């Protein structure tokens, strides 16, 4: 097996490069590298690293996507819960209206929360 790996993953290489570029762009030194003439070197190294990890069975892109999806679902749950707290302050709610508020929060929680037996 070569240094690069046995398999060629062009899609993972491109996505990994994009993901690592996004991460590095958030730092002061990373913004400098991405604006400098060294960007092609960075892109090549990021692509190599992504493909090398994929050849060893590590898909860091999936882990990142799962993390981001969890953060989005959690923010939706937090927003639904905050809206429910505001709606509950309204006097004279009927039972059907209370159930509707509960259903919105439960729906948002089911996207975010994971309940298992272990």
The string of pLDDT tens digits covering residues 23-67 is: 888 788 888 888 889 889 988 898 888 888 877 776 655 555 556
Residue whose tokens read 């996207």:
111
**What DSSP state is assigned to residue 74?**
H
Distance CA 102, CA 80 (A): 10
Q: pTM of the entire structure?
A: 0.44
Residue 26: the pLDDT is 77
Within 8 A by CB and 6+ apart from 113, the residues are: 77
Exposure b/e, 14-26, CB count within 10 A at least 16 = b: ebbbebbbeebee
pLDDT band, residue 5 (cuts 50/70/90): low
Task: Give the model confidence (pLDDT) of 61-93 as tens digits.
Answer: 555 555 666 666 677 778 888 888 888 888 888
């Amino acid at each position: 097996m070569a240094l690069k790996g046995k398999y060629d993953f062009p899609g993972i290489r491109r996505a990994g490069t994009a993901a690592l570029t996004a991460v590095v762009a958030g730092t002061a030194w990373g913004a400098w590298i991405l604006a400098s003439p060294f960007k092609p070197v960075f892109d090549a190294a990021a692509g190599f690293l992504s493909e090398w990890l994929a050849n060893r069975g590590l898909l860091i892109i999936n882990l990142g996507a799962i993390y981001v999806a969890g953060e989005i679902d959690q923010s939706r749950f937090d927003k639904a819960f905050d809206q429910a707290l505001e709606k509950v302050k309204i006097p004279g709610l009927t039972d059907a209206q209370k159930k509707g508020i509960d259903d919105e929060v439960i729906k948002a929680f089911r996207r975010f929360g994971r309940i298992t037996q272990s």
